[in-house]
């Protein structure tokens, strides 16, 4: 017999992110690097629908052109399944969940898509199972799943330190217009960090052995002023050079955007998505057309937007 409870569907949504500034410090003993980053949540979303089940399962759909679902695992290595299992273990919940995720954040693209899945899943399961976790408890569980998961829960604009998971909200005004060039390949985050370490060992170790990363104060001022031209001047990502080293073709993408009206472009997180900041909506539309004409897969997004939230439907 199908009970009313088993037909319940909980729908949550969490955003992807752009690191408008990312400074990487030294490798720590735990295998992570110390970071100082400014995150902005943008209007590309992962939509999670959760239903009661005995076991744990996930399946993916997408309506966004350029999103390739073929490489996304659906076994226990999937971050959404890990999130559900972690919440069940932390709360003593004995059942499972069937998850369906509508994916609109590029896969392995440096925009925190997997982290958004984990964030939206934590919220969906906590609601479905009635496990009553506080926001702080969800943030703490999120940090165990990945460095970007707490930010996907929190959203908006924030500075991240530590592994990137120690967050403080940043003031931001207005809406920034982004145009994102999606690659038809992914980049492995650990591989990009490894490339950075190897480069530093080759070139910098003697000059600057201890780096204390910090977010440039100009970045916070530009965000606070809602001024895209100022932000464009100070956007920076320490992972851009190693990402370009692994995928030299990204250099031409950056150049093409800047020739077609972008104020600046930056590799997003560990890449390979390239995020271009446009002066306004008209500029973003023109840039989108120019990049599409060059046969790139392009999506537009605005930021900042909300973190993970429950939708009523
Ligand atoms: O936390 P997350 O699972 O997203 O990190 C993936 C990988 O990226 C880590 O295993 C690590 O190799 C690298 N990383 C890092 N320093 C950070 C964040 C991520 O070295 N602060």
Q: Which of 126, 146, 170 is the last residue of a domain?
A: 170
Asked if residue 310 belongs to a domain, the reply is no
Residues 121 and 160 in one domain: yes
**What is the residue with the minimal CA distance to atom 7 of ligand 1?**
190
The residue among 220, 102, 205, 221 whose CA lies nearest residue 158 is: 220
- Tally of structural domains, the chain: 2
- Give the domain CATH number at 230: 3.30.70.890
How crowded is the C-beta side of 193, counted as CA atoms within 13 Å?
Answer: 18
pLDDT, one tens digit per residue, over 38-54 is 999 999 999 999 999 99
**What is the residue with the minimal CA distance to atom 19 of ligand 1?**
32
Q: Which of 137, 170, 203 is the last residue of a domain?
A: 170
Residues 124 and 270 in one domain: no
Q: Which residues line ligand 1 (CB under 6 A)?
A: 31-33, 35, 146-148, 163-164, 189-190, 193
pTM of the complete model? 0.94
In order, the DSSP letters of 96-146 are EEEEEEEE-SPTTSSS-HHHHHHHHHHHHHHHHHT----HHHHHHHHHHH-
Q: What is the pLDDT of residue 202?
A: 83
Q: What is the pLDDT of residue 67?
A: 87
Residues 14 and 162 in one domain: yes
Residues 87 and 143 in one domain: yes
Q: Is 114 annotated as a binding residue?
A: yes
Residues 262 and 243 in one domain: yes
User: Any residues with CB less than 8 A from the CB of 54 and at least 6 apart, and which?
Assistant: 95, 96
DSSP state of 184: S
Active site residues: 17, 148
Residues 92 and 231 in one domain: no
Number of other CB atoms surrounding residue 140 within 10 Å? 14
Q: Is 16 annotated as a binding residue?
A: no
Choice from 34, 114, 147, 165 to test ligand 1 binding pocket (greatest atom count within 8 A of CB): 147
**What is the residue with the minimal CA distance to atom 15 of ligand 1?**
32
Asked if pLDDT for residue 156 goes beyond 50, the answer is yes
Asked if residue 122 belongs to a domain, the reply is yes
In order, the DSSP letters of 146-158 are -TTHHHHHHBSEE
Domain that holds residue 119: 5-170
Closest ligand 1 atom to Cα of 148: 4
| Helices and strands (H and E) in the chain: how many | 10, 12
Ligand 1 mean position to 282 CA, how many Å?
A: 36
Residues 47 and 116 in one domain: yes
Q: Is 110 annotated as a binding residue?
A: yes
d(CA 302, CA 281): 9
Residues 253 and 196 in one domain: yes
With bands split at pLDDT 50, 70 and 90, how would you rate the model's confidence at 181? very high
Q: Is 113 annotated as a binding residue?
A: yes
pLDDT, one tens digit per residue, over 249-294 is 999 999 999 999 999 999 999 999 999 999 999 999 999 999 999 9
With bands split at pLDDT 50, 70 and 90, how would you rate the model's confidence at 71? confident
d(CA 113, CA 79): 10
Q: What is the pLDDT of residue 7?
A: 78
Residue 100 phi/psi, 5° resolution?
A: -120, 130
Mean pLDDT within 63-73: 88
Residues 194 and 228 in one domain: yes
- Give the domain CATH number at 37: 3.30.230.10
Q: Which of 130, 155, 170 is the last residue of a domain?
A: 170
The residue among 18, 26, 212, 164 whose CA lies nearest residue 105 is: 18
Mean pLDDT within 50-62: 97
How large is the ipTM?
0.95
């Amino acid at each position: 017999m199908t009970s009313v409870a088993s037909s319940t569907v909980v729908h949550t949504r969490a955003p992807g992110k752009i690191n408008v500034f990312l400074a990487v410090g030294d490798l720590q003993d735990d295998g992570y690097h110390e970071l100082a980053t400014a995150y902005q949540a943008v209007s590309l979303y992962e939509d999670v629908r959760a239903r009661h089940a005995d076991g744990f399962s996930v399946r993916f759909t997408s309506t966004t052109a350029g999103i390739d679902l073929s490489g996304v695992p659906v076994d226990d290595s999937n971050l959404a399944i890990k999130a559900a299992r972690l919440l069940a273990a932390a709360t003593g919940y004995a059942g499972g969940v069937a998850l369906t995720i509508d994916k609109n954040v590029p896969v392995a693209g440096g925009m925190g898509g997997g982290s958004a899945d984990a964030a939206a899943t934590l919220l969906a399961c906590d609601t479905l199972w009635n496990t009553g976790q506080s926001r702080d408890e969800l943030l703490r569980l999120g940090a165990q799943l990945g460095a970007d998961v707490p930010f996907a829960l929190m959203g908006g604009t924030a500075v991240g330190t530590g592994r990137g998971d120690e967050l403080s909200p940043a003031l931001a005004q207005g809406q920034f217009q982004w145009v994102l060039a999606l690659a038809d390949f992914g980049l492995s985050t650990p591989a990009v960090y490894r490339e950075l370490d190897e480069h530093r060992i080759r070139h910098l170790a003697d000059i600057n052995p201890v780096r204390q990363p910090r977010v440039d104060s100009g970045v916070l001022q530009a965000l606070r002023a809602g001024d895209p031209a100022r932000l464009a001047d100070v956007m920076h990502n320490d992972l851009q050079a190693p990402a370009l080293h692994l995928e030299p073709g990204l250099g031409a993408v950056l150049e093409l955007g800047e020739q077609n009206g972008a104020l600046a472009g930056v590799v997003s997180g560990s890449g390979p998505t390239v995020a271009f900041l446009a002066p306004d909506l008209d500029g973003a539309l023109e840039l989108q057309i120019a990049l599409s004409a060059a046969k790139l897969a392009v999506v537009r997004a605005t930021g900042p937007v909300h973190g993970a939230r429950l939708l009523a439907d």
